[in-house]
Chain A
Amino acid sequence: MELKRRDFLRAAALAGGGLSLGGLRAPGAGQERSPRPRRILILGGTGFIGPHQVAYARERGHTLTLFNRGRTAPELFPNIEQLRGDRATGELGELGGGREWDAVIDNSATDPRWVREAAQLLKDRAGQYIFISTQSTYVSRAEIGIEETAPVGRPDLPKAEWTGYGPSKALSEEEAQNAFPGRATIVRPSLIVGPGDETDRWTYWPVRVHRGGEMAVPGTPQDPMQFIDARDLSEWLIRLAEDGTAGVFNAVGPEAPLTSAEMLYGIRAVTSQPVSFTWVDADFLAEQGVRAWSDMPAWQPPRGRTAGFARMSNARALAAGLTFRPLAVTARDTLEWFLSQPPERQGALKAGLTPERERYLLAAWKVRGSGAEEAR
C-alpha cells in the first residue's frame, strides 16, 4: 500500500493528477506551452519552491539553467543544465562569460551581498531579475490591507545597521532594483505551503485534522488566514518571466479573504476522519504559553501588531495573473505527501501542538469555560 501510494504520488506529480476540478493547476495556470519560450536562469532551484518552478517551466517549453552548489538533491533534474558555484563564498565563475538569459529567478538569497554580486554580474546579460523576498520586509503589519508601497526594513536605523531576516531581505530587494532598474520583479510571499514543505508550518493542520478527534484551534472562527501553495507561487513566477512583468508584489492567497473556520472545515472536507474543532481564545492561549505561528501554525492573533498579518492586499498580484488552486487540492496533496514520508519523519512534526499538550490545553480551556475558575 505504502509503495503503491508513493508511486502514485510520483506519477500524479508528473502527470498532473489529482482533483480534476481545476486540475492540479490553478485556473489560468495552463499546462500548454508558452507562446514566448524564455531562457530562464534559476538561482537555487532544488529546495522547496524551485522544483515546482522547474517542472512548470519545462511544461511551458522554456530553456532552463540552474545555478547552485550541487548539494541539495543534485540528482533531481538530470536533464537540465546545471552550473555550479557558491554564493556564500562568492564563487560565481560559471555565471560569467557571455551567456544571456531572458530572466533570472533568485530563490536562494537572504544576504544582500549575494544579490548584489549575482545581479551586478548579470545585469547586462539578463532581461529581468525576479527576487523572492518575503512579507517580513514590512515595518508593520498592524494595518489591514497593507500594499506593496508600505515601508520596509528599519527606517528608524541607518541602512548599515539593518540586520535580521526582514531588513536583510529589504536590502536584498534594493540590490535587485539597483542592478535592474525597471526590470526587477520583487515577490513577497506569505507562508508558502504544500507538498514538500519541510517546515510543517501549515502541514500541521491537514495532518492534525486527519488524526481526528477534538482539536484545539486558535482564536476565533473569523480570524483571517493567508498563505500560498508553493505551486501557485512557482507557476506564477514563471508566468511573470514570460510576461516580463516588473514591480513589487505581495504573493498571498487565497483570492477572497479566508477565515480560520473556512480553512479548517475546508481541510476537514478532504478526509473522512471524524473531527471537531474547539476554538480557544487568543488570550487564553497566551496565558498557557501556546505560541502563535509555531504552536498554532499559520495563525497570528488579528489585533495589535499582527492585526494585518493575514489581511495583506493581494490586488496587485491578482492583476498580474496570480491564481490559486482550490484549498482541497493543497490540503490533500500536502497530507498525502506527508503520509508518504518515512515513519520517523511523520513522528516528528516540526510545528503545532503535541497531542499531550493539546489534550491539556483543551482540558484547561474547558475548566475555565465551565466557570470553575470563577468558583474557586
Chain B
Amino acid sequence: MASRREFLAGTAAAGLGLGLGGVPVSGYEGGGSGAGGGSVAGRPSSLQTVARAPRSLRILFLGGTGFLGPAQVEYALARGHTVTLFNRGRTDPDLFPGVETVFGDRATSDYAALAGRQWDAVLDNSANVAPWVVDSTRVLKDAVGRYLYVSSISAHSDNSILGQDENGPVFSQEDYDQAIASGASPGAAFGPHKAQAERETFKAFGDRGIVVRPGLIVGPRDRSDRFTYWPVRIDRGGEVLAPGDGTDWAQIVDVRDLGQFMVHLVEEGASGTFNATGPEAPLTMAGMLYGIRAITSTPVTFTWVDSDFLREQKVGAWMEMPVWVYPEPDTRGFSAYDCSRAIAAGLRFRPLADTARDTLEWWKARPEAERATMRTGVAPEKEKAILEAWHARNG
C-alpha cells in the first residue's frame, strides 16, 4: 500500500488529479459504466473507487515500469492482486517501492530470479524481439497460468484493409525468417518480430495464451509524444495546421484503458488475440482535434491542409502530423481496425476529454528541459511557413 500511495502522490503531483473521485470510467468493477452507458469526462478514474477482484491473483509483470506497465500495475494493485515485477531495475526503479521486484535481463536470457516461483498470470510488456519470448515462455510455461503478450497492431501486414479484425493478415514465419536473414534491425522488423512473438506465445501456452495488439497508446507518461503534440499544440492556441480534410480516421487508446483491459483479461481467464485500439465509434481527425479543443479556453482555429500540399511541403505523417498517416490505398486501414472482440471482452474507453486533459496536465508538469524537446509535431516555424504558403496558394 505504501507503494501505491507513493505512486498516487507522484501522479497527483504530475497533475492527474486522481483524487476527484466519482464515476469510474471503466466498467470492469461491475456497476460502472459498461457499453451502452458511456461515462462522462472530468472524473478521472479514481482507483480509490475500484472494487477489489473477487479472487486475488498473483501476477508477474515483465517490465512494468515503462509507459504501459504502471497503468497495469496500478490497476492490479487496486484490484487486490499480488504483484511481482521482473526487470533490470534500470527504468524508474523507485516507482513501486512496496512491490516485489525481481531482477534479471531478457537481453542475456537471465531469468534465474524467476526459478521455482509460480504465478496465476504473466503480462509480458517488454519484448520487442521474438527470441526474448521464446526464452520467457520456455521459462514460464509450467510456472504461470496465463501468458499475456503485449503485441502491436503492427503485427498486421496489410494496412490496405479497412475494418480488419484479428483474422486480418499478419507477418508470417517466412516474413520473420527473411527479416532475420537480411539482418534487419529489430526496429525495422518490428511487425515481423511482434507477429513471431505471438506465435511463440501460443506455441508455448496454447489456449492459456493471450495476445493483445494495441494501436497507438496515448496518455500521461507517454514519452514518445506521439499524441501529446495535439493537446499541447492546441493549448498553445492560434492557427493550427491540421492534416488532410478532417475526415481521415484516427485511432488511439488511453494507456489506462488498455492497462485495465489487460488485467481484466487475465482475471477473466481469456484466450486468444485482441486488437485493442479506440474509441468505440469511429473517430475522425476533426473529431479528435475538436474534442481536444474542448478542454482548453485558448482561442484556436484549425486550418485543414490537403495531403498533396503537405507532401509538397515535405511534412512527415505520424511524427510531424501525429496520429495521422497519408490516406493512400495501402495505408487507408491504418486507423480503421475493428476492435469489437476486445470491446465484447471488456475494453472500455474513457472520454477523449479526460485523455487529452490528463495528457496536457502531465506534460505541463514535466521538467522544462523535457518540454523543450517535444519529440513529435511539425516545428512552429515550419507550421507557420506551411500555413502561409497554403493561404498564398488559396488566395
The answer to whether A binds B is yes
Question: For the complex, is B291 an interface residue (Cβ under 8 Å from A)?
Answer: yes
Contact partner of A268 (CB less than 8 A), chosen from B42, B291, B350, is B291
Contact with A along B13-56 (1 / 0, CB 8 A): 00101001111010000010100101111100000000000000
- Check A20–B17 contact: CB distance below 8 A: yes
Q: Is the CB of A27 within 8 A of B352?
A: no
The 10 lowest CB-CB distance pairs between A and B, nearest first, are: A266-B294, A269-B291, A274-B281, A273-B38, A256-B299, A265-B290, A272-B38, A270-B41, A328-B294, A327-B294
Cα A20 to Cα B296 in complex, Å, equals 11
Q: Which of A138-146, A318-326, A368-376 contacts B (4 or more CB under 8 A)?
A: A318-326
* Chain A residues engaging chain B, CB cutoff 8 angstroms: 1, 5, 8, 17-22, 26-27, 210, 212, 221, 254-257, 261-262, 264-276, 323-329, 331-333, 335-336, 339
Among A20, A254, A261, A270, the residue within 8 A (CB) of B20 is A20
B282 close to A (CB within 8 Å) = yes
Q: Which of B164-172, B177-185, B353-361, B370-378 contacts A (4 or more CB under 8 A)?
A: B353-361
Inter-subunit contact B360/A262 (CB<8 Å) = no
* B359-373 near A? 1/0 per residue, CB < 8 Å: 011000000000000
B residues near A264, Cβ cutoff 8 Å: 290
User: A1, A5, A27, A332: which contacts B353 (Cβ < 8 A)?
Assistant: A332
Whether A20 contacts B361 in the complex (CB less than 8 A), given A269-B294, A326-B297, comes out as: yes
Task: Flag if B351 contacts A326 (CB, 8 Å).
Answer: no
Query: Given contacts A5-B23, A19-B353, A262-B290, is CB(A271)–CB(B297) below 8 Å?
Result: no
B293 within 8 A of A: yes
Contact indicator per residue, chain B 273-304, by CB within 8 Å of chain A (1) or not (0): 00000011110001110111111110111100
Selected A-B contacts with CB under 8 Å, 28 pairs: A5-B22, A20-B15, A20-B361, A212-B36, A212-B38, A254-B297, A261-B246, A261-B290, A262-B293, A262-B294, A264-B290, A265-B288, A265-B294, A269-B291, A269-B294, A270-B41, A270-B294, A270-B351, A271-B39, A272-B33, A272-B279, A272-B280, A272-B351, A274-B281, A326-B294, A326-B296, A327-B294, A328-B41
Is B227 an interface position by the 8 A CB rule? no
CB distance from A248 to the nearest CB of B (A): 23
Shortest Cβ gap from A115 to chain B (Å): 33
B348 proximal to A (CB < 8 A): yes
B291 touches A265 (CB 8 A): yes
CB distance from B393 to the nearest CB of A (A): 20
**Which residue of B is nearest A273, CB measured?**
B38
B67: chain A residues at CB < 8 Å are: none
Contacts of A266 in B (CB 8 A): 290-291, 293-294
- Is residue B349 contacting chain A, with contact meaning CB distance below 8 A? yes
Q: Is the CB of A269 within 8 A of B38?
A: no
Chain B residues within an 8 Å CB radius of A17? 20
How many angstroms from the CA of A266 to the CA of B357 in the assembled complex? 13
A20 to B295, CA, bound (A): 10
Contact with A along B74-111 (1 / 0, CB 8 A): 00000000000000000000000000000000000000
In the complex with contacts A27-B297, A270-B351, A323-B297, A8-B290 CB distance below 8 A: no
- Report the minimum CB–CB distance from A308 to chain B (whole Å): 19
Would you call A261 and B286 a contact (CB within 8 A)?
Answer: yes
Instruction: Find the A residue at minimum CB distance from B287.
Output: A265
Cα-based distance from A254 to B299 in the complex (angstroms): 8
Name the residue on A nearest B358 (C-beta): A21
Q: Inside 8 A of B299's CB, which chain A residues have their CB?
A: 254-256
Most buried by A among B286, B290, B348: B290
Q: Among A1, A256, A257, A271, point to the contact of B41 (Cβ < 8 A).
A: A271
Task: Give chain B residues whose Cβ lies under 8 Å from the Cβ of A272.
Answer: 25, 33, 38-39, 279-280, 348-351
Question: Contacting B351 at CB < 8 Å: which of A221, A262, A271, A329?
Answer: A271
A125 to chain B, nearest CB (A): 37
Q: Are A210 and B40 in contact (CB under 8 A)?
A: yes
> Is the beta-carbon distance between A265 and B300 smaller than 8 angstroms?
no
Q: Of B15, B31, B295, B361, which contacts A326 at CB under 8 A?
A: B295
- Could you tell me the distance between the alpha carbons of A37 and B348 in the complex, rounded to whole angstroms? 49
User: In the complex, which residue of chain B has the Cβ closest to the Cβ of A211?
Assistant: B38
Verify A21–B293 contact, CB threshold 8 A: no
Cβ–Cβ < 8 Å partners of A329 in chain B:
42
When distances are taken between beta carbons in the complex, the residues of chain B under 8 Å from A269 are 41, 290-292, 294-295, 351-353, 356
Chain A residues, CB < 8 A from B351 = 269-272
Closest beta carbon of chain B to A233's beta carbon, Å: 14
Residue from A17, A268, A327, A329 having most chain B Cβ neighbours under 10 A: A268
CA distance A327 to B234 in the complex (A): 14
The smallest C-beta distance from A210 to any residue of chain B, in angstroms, reads 7
Known: A268-B291, A272-B33, A272-B280. A22 touches B353 (CB 8 A): no
Residues of A within 8 A of B293 (CB): 262, 266, 327
A255 near B297 with CB under 8 A, answer yes
Q: Which residues of A contact B38 (CB under 8 A)?
A: 210, 212, 271-274
Q: Residues of B contacting A273 with CB < 8 Å?
A: 38
In-complex Cβ contact of A257 among B282, B294, B301, B357 (8 A): B301
Q: Are A22 and B41 in contact (CB under 8 A)?
A: no
Residues of A with C-beta under 8 A to B280: 272, 274
Closest chain B residue to A26, Cβ basis: B297
B290 to chain A, nearest CB (A): 4
